[in-house]
Amino acid sequence: MSNSPSPLFGYPRPDGRWGFRNHILILPLHQALSTAARDIAEATSGAVAISHDWSGEIDKDFERITKTFAGFAGNPNIFTTVALTIGTEVESGIIERAKKFSPTPLVEIKLSDAGSMFKLVTNALEKVTELAEQAAAQSRTPAPWSAVVLGLECGGSDAYSGITANPALGVASDRLVEYGATSILAETMEILGAEHLLAARALDPKVGEQIIEVVARYERSINYEGIDIRGAQPSRGNIEGGLSTLEEKSLGAAKKAGNAPFTGVLEYADRPTAPGLYFMDTPGHDIEQLTGFAAADVNITVFTTGRGTPTGSAVIPTIKVATNSEMGLVLTDLIDINAGTISDGTQTLEEVGQIIFDEIVKVANGQLTKAEIGKHHEFNLSRLYGSTL
Amino acid sequence: MRPVSSPSGQRKILFLNPKDNIAVCLADINVGEKISQDGREVSAVEAIPRGHKIATADIAKGDGIIKYGERMGHATKSIATGSHVHTHNVLGDRLSTENT
């Protein structure tokens, strides 16, 4: 832990967590309410909504989906979640679970009580307006470094990811972890081939074994399913960019986590319980990973990209770092920081690491990211067993 | 946008780790082109696209390809210094089958 004073300002939550945004989340717990959720959010400043394709199926993915919704509803960047429901027992179960995580009282608005979709929307609008006033009246207060729960993500990787944006993000992540913050690396497929290096950095040998086991479990599932992932990893785009093997991609992807020791391993959407660097077992799918981060208390994310992936979250500010100047200087409506300067030879890794660190502080303190300005509010449920019933 | 720099770049090659037997080309390299950086030099024996790898040592068939100081796969044929190192002469050690 460093003595460096924190320049952070956030929203303290009653349970000790901190938010860096103060959103009202409109959360439909049935796919049929997704449009209503979006309409309500569009009508109210300060409200955000997600949409999804789930309609209450109780299948093998039910536990994973329930955990994701409950965790997402309780993300510390949310002032209050307003859940829209049909009025089923399945939805009540999710709401009960979400209440345990939620920093503020969760509001449920039932279609069965409202009597019509029109009344559901007007009832919700009335409530959301009232909540938006309360949220706007809250002011930021000085926050400690431990308030930061940083998500490390990459998408659309190229041959520059591992030499520019990822190691520069590693510099910023290392500094935050040293100061007492939490940082989470994810994407199991993208550490395959680098897991022994990460395991060697575990604070506790058991954590090292867990890192190895999570990757081995993934490898077994691929072999069991008979899936040939070589066509997808590295992807055609990765290969065109110069990446030759999955290990090469993984060695570059793992650089996002710098050199800090690993405190623990998290299952998908599970929350870290103490500060430090973690690995979370997630799919490689960018949005499923970001959704899992949101369910696990992540309140700010840095996303490195070689192609300018527009992915963002309704509840987590997401900072985009370009791996190359060719893209980074062109897609200026998507990219917050260009790390291509490292391979151009005009800036060092340390310099860009410092820029990313400073940007994390500014964004935590309220500066909007390009993904927020563009309202990139993607949400995806992660399923292990394929389609619904 | 910060920072901003010219996309044309000055660097043509990146030597990542002293243990490596490859380097990363930061520009399209022509046949016979000599590239030097930070006191090291390598001559390309074939054209190599930007972002791709060049062998900085002779690599025997079956030897590891070392990048960032770590093994990222192995050579499926012998690779001479200055050659393009990619999927035509490299395979990963994991989840890859030699027979396909």
Count how many domains chain A has.
2
Residues of chain A contacting residue B86, judged by C-beta atoms under 8 Å apart:
239, 242, 244
How many Å lie between the alpha carbon of B2 and the closest alpha carbon of chain A? 5
Domain boundary, last residue among A78, A110, A137: A137
- The verdict on residue B96 lying in a domain is no
Q: How far apart are CA A340 and CA A352, in angstroms?
A: 9
Helix (H) or strand (E) holding A265: strand A262-266
Say whether both A297 and A364 belong to one domain.
Answer: yes
Domain membership of residue B39 as a residue range: 13-91
Whether A32 maps to a domain, the answer reads yes
Measuring CA to CA, how many Å separate A214 from each of A60, A196, A207?
20, 12, 10
pLDDT (tens digit per residue) in A303-354: 999 988 889 999 999 999 999 998 999 999 999 999 999 988 899 999 999 9
| CA gap A55, A95 in Å, rounded | 15
d(CA B57, nearest CA chain A) in Å: 18
Per CB-CB distance under 8 Å, the chain A contacts of B76 are: none
In a domain, B4, yes or no: no
Domain boundaries, position A57: 23-137
- For residue A161, give every residue at least 6 positions away whose Cβ sits within 8 Å of its Cβ, in sequence order, or none: A154, A252, A253, A304, A306, A323
Mark yes or no for CB contact A338/B4 under 8 Å.
yes
Tell me the pLDDT tens digit for each residue of A154-205.
988 888 999 999 999 999 999 999 999 999 999 999 999 999 999 999 999 9
pLDDT of A283 strictly over 70: yes
Pair (A151, A248) in one structural domain: yes
- Domain CATH for B54: 2.30.130.110
Number of H helices, E strands in chain B: 0, 9
Q: Decide if B50 and A158 are in contact by the 8 Å CB cutoff.
A: no
**A367 pLDDT more than 50:** yes
* Residue contact A219–B94, C-beta within 8 A: yes
Percent of chain A with pLDDT over 90: 80
Instruction: Note the pLDDT tens digit of each residue in A218-271.
Output: 888 877 766 666 555 688 878 888 999 999 999 999 999 999 999 999 999 999
Contact between B10 and A341 (Cβ < 8 Å): no
Look-up of token digits 């060092």:
A348
Separation between Cα atoms, residue A283 and residue A229, nearest integer Å: 13
Please provide the DSSP assignment of A103-114 as one string: SS--EEEEHHHH
Closest residue on chain A to B69 (Cα) = A251
Do B25 and B11 touch, CB atoms closer than 8 A? no
CB atoms within 10 A of CB A156: 21
* Cβ of residue A158 closer than 8 Å to a chain B Cβ: yes
- Lowest-pLDDT range, A83-87, A111-115, B34-38? B34-38
* Cβ atoms A306, A155 nearer than 8 A: no
Q: Are residues A172 and A309 in the same domain?
A: yes
Q: Are A93 and A37 in contact (CB under 8 A)?
A: no
> Cβ of A229: how many Cβ atoms within 10 Å?
17
Average pLDDT, chain A: 93
| Chain B: closest CA distance from residue A338 (Å) | 6
The pLDDT value recorded for residue A62 is 92
Determine phi and psi for A156, rounding to 5 degrees. 65, 50
CA distance linking residue A96 with residue A17, whole number of Å: 20
Report CB contact under 8 Å: A192, B94: yes
Ordered per-residue pLDDT tens for chain B, 100 residues: 444 344 444 678 988 999 999 999 988 999 999 998 878 889 999 999 999 999 999 999 999 999 999 999 999 999 999 999 999 999 998 865 443 3
Do the chains contact at A248 and B91, CB–CB below 8 Å?
A: no
Q: Which residue has the higher pLDDT, A120 or B26?
A: A120
Does a structural domain hold residue A328?
yes
What's the pTM? 0.93
- So what's the pLDDT on residue A220? 86
**Residue that terminates a domain, selected from A116, A137, A158:** A137
Q: Look at the block and give the residue holding tokens 């993208």.
A: A190
How many structural domains comprise chain B?
Answer: 1
Q: Are A247 and B93 in contact (CB under 8 A)?
A: yes
Task: Indicate the SS3 state at residue A53.
Answer: coil
Q: Which two tokens stand for residue A241?
A: 């960019």
